[in-house]
Structure 1
Amino acid sequence: MTWLFPRFLASVLAMAAGGLLGYWTGGPIRASLLGALIGGAIGVGIIALLDTVRGYRLIHWLAGSQEGAAPRDTGFWGEIGYRVERSIRNRERGAEQERLRLEQFISAMEASPNGILLLDERDQITWCNSVAADHFGLDPKRDRQQPVTNLVRSPGFVAALQLERTQEPVVMPDLHGRGTLSIVIRTYGEGLRLVISHDITQRERADAMRRDFVANVSHEIRTPLTVLAGFIETMGNLPLTEPERRRVLTLMGQQTQRMQTLVADLLTLAQLEGSPRPASDRWVPLAKLFAQAQADAAGLSMGRHQFKFPEQCPAQVAGNEAEFLSAITNVVNNAVRYTPEGGAITVSWRVREDGSGEVAVADTGIGIDREHIPRLTERFYRVDGSRSRDTGGTGLGLSIVKHVVQRHGGELEVRSEVGKGSRFILILPPARVRAGRSDPGTPQINAPERSAA
């Protein structure tokens, strides 16, 4: 209130000065009292005129953009201008802070891995992030203020919107038919709706794979167990001759070996998935791996195939020797199983231009349809289930190969054509490849070409 007393004093002084001046000027014409009144009124009028000018300047500033400073007058209007300007600046700062918070909130919703869709009380779209636009096939700008039911016509979604409250999520395919969405609808405010969509394609696929895995393991183990139980009952209830007994024992041993192989492969997969990545400073000679894989494949082939392995291979690879051997052996043995008698199996090694290494196993077998190739490394996936069981496979070999190669930073490529054979390529990164002998103390075991007709 510091402006009140000076303003009152200025008004009194102006009125007094004007009245005194009017009194003096009215004396000669004997109208001193009238002159004093007129002079006082003129003094007050001058103060009022000055106030009008100052008020106009403040009003003019308020009518504009208020970007500059308010008029810096003294007294009453200066105090009003200062307070109004401070209030405006405080509100501008508050509005800017709220704008920044809103931008951050919108950015957070935009960065959400879930789709977020805001609907008004008439189910018209007020805002959606890019994930929701992709899930529902919307345009975030063009489709605003459009009824969502005109754009998303899934019966389950429309039915959920018609309910006052939904507790369970709605599961529906996405617009492109490439996956599955889980949608949750919540009400907030005065009839407003929040729609959250989540892509559960991978989870659904993982659940399906887990169910298939359990079912396949149960089936694979139940079959030999049923055979063993039948043979045991036969041996206990029927008198068998010595040749019959030996045949039954042989079949029981085969079924037992089948279960042991299956359990061993399952344990290998569990170990691969649960153990850390192999070290990159333990070097394994490829010649040793090829020699062991060739011996194993020759035993499985029993002279029915022709084999060709690298005659000289001084290269080394870094990693786990047992895992490398398992991967190469699985690929070579698969080639043996699916190549008819008299076919050829070729194993080769080369260093690519970028320094990566390539182990390739080619056969002249029955080949694989293109539609099956992407799923070959799935557990228990078989192109021909009956043939796989006849050949003794567990359906886990290529899954093991994929895990081994990926754990060493590489990848598995499959090329095949029905009736013309297949080619499986294990690619290892340059950091895990030595093109030649770098450690004279490491023995190199050659794998000469072996042919069995």
Structure 2
Amino acid sequence: MRKKVFQHAGALIIAAIILTFFTMSWAMYNNTAEQLRVSVRNECEYYRYFLDKMGDDSLDKPAGKITASRVTLIDTDGTVLFDSVEDAKMMGNHSGRPEVIEAEKTGESNISRYSETLRSKTYYTALRLDNGKIIRVSLTTDSVFGVMLRNIWLVAVLIAAVLVVELMMVSHMTKALVKPINEIDLNHPLDNKAYEELSPLLGRIHQQQKQIQQQMEELRHNQEEYLAITEYMKDGLIVTNQSVVLSINRSAQNLFDVTAEECINHNIVTVSRNEQLKEALDHALEGSSEERMLELNGRVYQLLANPVRVDNVVSGAVILVLDVTEKQKAEVMRREFSANVSHELKTPLMSISGYAEIIENNMVKPEDIPKFAGRIHSEASRLSSLVEDIIKLSRLDENDQSIPMEEVDLMQICRDVEGHLSIRAKEQQVKMTLRGESCRIKGARQVLYEMIYNLCDNAIKYNRRDGEVEVTVSRGRNGRAVVSVADTGIGIAKEDQERIFERFYRVDKSHSRETGGTGLGLSIVKHGAILHDAKIKIESTLGTGTKIILEF
């Protein structure tokens, strides 16, 4: 601002000074020239009067030196008789001079001549004497341009002085002008009273301030929503532009063991040097969606990388990292379950079909038909049990909301189980005892019954002759209800203990076939425990017995 004011004001001042100088010089020169013409004419009149009275001989050199003007006496034939500056004899004939010709005709001549060489102007006045001779007086002075050139240094000095003064004044003035503007409170522009001329500007600033505040509030709200959504996602989310990471949520930070400060505004390699991640990002930045499987820390992740386009130009990428470990395990279990179900259903069906075909073709003695029919009934019962267990497990898998939850007494359920299994226990020559106290919890009565029934049924099946099964109901130190089922059976090897709750897993497959187990009992126990948020503990020694504890 200061520079522009100085430039514009300086240019105006310089133009004014120069214009004033030329105007004044021209006016003063014209005034001086007029005075010179009058002075030269008056002086020439004096000489004419003097010569007419005193004669030509009275004009000599001393008389010519009285004035600064040049005095010349010219004869009627143009010969120079006298000149106050030069030797008259050395001067040429003046009969052809304009002033001489005009004076001879009219008696008087007033002219001026300009010299380009000397840059001067000479004023002539010529008068005719009574005797016909011509008296001429001339005075030479600088031309208007000469006067201007002679005094141009004054203009330069004046301009320099004015510019110095102007610089100081402009500096002071701009400081005084800018100070109130610099002190404007942009947060409250309408409260400023700097200059009335600034009111429209301050009004626009106020409106713009309101718009900016609204936009900032919207941005803050959007950012909070974005953070609320992304920060608490269980899946990892990474957003990048063409070169650096713009955002990485908490799940992705935990997954790759990095912090946001280490990644944001840095290359993707600061997140992870995994080749799958790098290749997926490169493909996304090239404009194509990419899906990869990633294994980290013993878990399986699905990597989805998609390009972000702005005006049909890829400006970045979004990477979503999904933990599909459980999904993968579930898929493996589903395939195994399907294969096992097919096998488990096929075995009794084949037996039923075989026995029935033998009977149909009269290949069995009449007295053996009841025996074969018994086998068919046994396999059908086994098939029915298997289907029932599959249905129960399916309902538990789906977390069926229709399962009623009510207050139940675990001791009463254990008594019911004991009553139903007492005959089987006697058949197996196993002593079954129930001890403890009444413990009431909120749960699904039928599911709790199936859980305890399966534990007790297994304890009887896999027990030894004259063995024991002890069922205990109590309250733990933490106040939680505890049901434990202990037997003196074959026990479970350490390496099998983690797998006994898998579907169709059998520790002793031959014994399971003999006892007619479906292989789903303990799996039902596991899913029932999940439904009731219960914990399962197992204590077992091979050849000594097993104790399974349910803590509700």
Tell me the TM-score normalized by structure 1. 0.70
> What is the one-letter code of the residue matched to 1:290?
R
Q: Check the 8 A contact 2:247/2:264 in 1, yes or no.
A: yes
Corresponding residue for residue 335 of structure 2: 211
Which of 179, 192, 210 lines up with 1:57 in the alignment?
179
Distance in 2 separating the partners of 1:319 and 1:101? 43
Residues 1:223 and 2:347 aligned together: yes
Structure 2 vs 1, CA of residues 216 and 375 (structure 1 numbering), >3 Å: closer, same or farther? same
**Shift, 1:342, TM fit:** 3.6
Q: Which has the larger radius of gyration?
A: 2
Q: Report the secondary structure of 1:381's partner residue.
A: coil
Q: Check the 8 A contact 1:117/1:129 in 2, yes or no.
A: yes
Identify the range of structure 1 (80-89 vs 336-345) with the bigger mean alpha-carbon deviation: 80-89
> What is the one-letter code of the residue matched to 2:515?
T
Corresponding residue for residue 276 of structure 1: 402
Q: CA deviation digits over 1:280-321, x for unaligned, max 9?
A: 35x5583574264255154156243333323x8666666555
Residues 1:199 and 2:323 aligned together: yes
Q: CA deviation digits over 1:250-300, x for unaligned, max 9?
A: 32222112101112222333455435353435x558357426425515415
Corresponding residue for residue 309 of structure 1: 434
Distance in 1 separating the partners of 2:262 and 2:524? 49
Q: Matches of residues 20-419 of structure 1 in structure 2 within 5 Å?
A: 52=174, 54-61=176-183, 66=186, 71-76=192-197, 78-79=198-199, 82-83=202-203, 85-86=205-206, 89-90=209-210, 93-94=213-214, 96-97=216-217, 99-101=219-221, 103-107=223-227, 108-122=229-243, 124-149=244-269, 152-163=272-283, 164-167=286-289, 169-173=291-295, 175-189=296-310, 190-237=314-361, 239-242=363-366, 244-270=368-394, 273-281=399-407, 286=411, 289-290=414-415, 292-299=417-424, 302-310=427-435, 321-407=445-531, 410-419=534-543
**Shift, 1:59, TM fit:** 4.3
Structure 2 vs 1, CA of residues 369 and 185 (structure 1 numbering), >3 Å: closer, same or farther? farther
Q: Check the 8 A contact 1:171/1:182 in 2, yes or no.
A: yes
Identify the range of structure 1 (143-152 vs 179-188) with the bigger mean alpha-carbon deviation: 143-152
Distance in 1 separating the partners of 2:338 and 2:544? 34
Distance in 1 separating the partners of 2:322 and 2:375? 52
**Shift, 1:350, TM fit:** 1.8
Structure 2 vs 1, CA of residues 187 and 242 (structure 1 numbering), >3 Å: closer, same or farther? same
Structure 2 vs 1, CA of residues 156 and 233 (structure 1 numbering), >3 Å: closer, same or farther? farther
> What is the one-letter code of the residue matched to 1:199?
D
The number of residue pairs the alignment matches comes to 376
Q: Check the 8 A contact 2:425/2:431 in 1, yes or no.
A: no
Q: Check the 8 A contact 2:433/2:470 in 1, yes or no.
A: yes
**Shift, 1:106, TM fit:** 4.2
Structure 2 vs 1, CA of residues 380 and 196 (structure 1 numbering), >3 Å: closer, same or farther? same
Structure 2 vs 1, CA of residues 121 and 74 (structure 1 numbering), >3 Å: closer, same or farther? closer
Corresponding residue for residue 92 of structure 2: none
> What is the one-letter code of the residue matched to 2:294?
M
> What is the one-letter code of the residue matched to 2:402?
P
Q: Check the 8 A contact 1:301/1:336 in 2, yes or no.
A: no
Q: Check the 8 A contact 2:301/2:321 in 1, yes or no.
A: no
> What is the one-letter code of the residue matched to 2:216?
E
Q: Which runs of 5+ in 1 are unaligned?
A: 1-44, 429-453
> What is the one-letter code of the residue matched to 1:127?
S
Corresponding residue for residue 436 of structure 1: none
> What is the one-letter code of the residue matched to 2:183?
W
Distance in 1 separating the partners of 2:442 and 2:196? 87
Q: Report the secondary structure of 1:142's partner residue.
A: helix
**Shift, 1:192, TM fit:** 1.7
**Shift, 1:356, TM fit:** 3.2
Structure 2 vs 1, CA of residues 267 and 112 (structure 1 numbering), >3 Å: closer, same or farther? closer
Identify the range of structure 1 (207-216 vs 287-296) with the bigger mean alpha-carbon deviation: 287-296
Distance in 2 separating the partners of 1:347 and 1:252? 34
Distance in 2 separating the partners of 1:323 and 1:411? 15
Q: CA deviation digits over 1:303-360, x for unaligned, max 9?
A: 43333323x8666666555444332221111112222334322112223344433221
Q: Check the 8 A contact 1:182/1:200 in 2, yes or no.
A: no
> What is the one-letter code of the residue matched to 2:252?
A
Q: Kindly indicate whether structure 1 or structure 2 has the higher relative contact order, using CA contacts under 8 Å at least 6 residues apart.
A: 1
Q: CA deviation digits over 1:156-201, x for unaligned, max 9?
A: 444433433434522222x222233242332434442221222222
Q: Check the 8 A contact 2:439/2:475 in 1, yes or no.
A: no
**Shift, 1:228, TM fit:** 1.8
Q: Check the 8 A contact 1:58/1:81 in 2, yes or no.
A: no
Q: Check the 8 A contact 1:346/1:363 in 2, yes or no.
A: yes
Distance in 2 separating the partners of 1:270 and 1:59? 77
Corresponding residue for residue 435 of structure 1: none
**Shift, 1:137, TM fit:** 3.8
Q: Report the secondary structure of 1:171's partner residue.
A: strand
Q: Report the secondary structure of 1:103's partner residue.
A: helix
Q: Check the 8 A contact 1:284/1:319 in 2, yes or no.
A: no
Q: Check the 8 A contact 2:492/2:542 in 1, yes or no.
A: yes
Distance in 2 separating the partners of 1:135 and 1:60? 51
**Shift, 1:394, TM fit:** 0.9
> What is the one-letter code of the residue matched to 1:112?
M
Give the number of the structure whose residues are more often strand, by fraction.
Answer: 2
Q: Report the secondary structure of 2:333's partner residue.
A: helix
Tell me the TM-score normalized by structure 2. 0.58
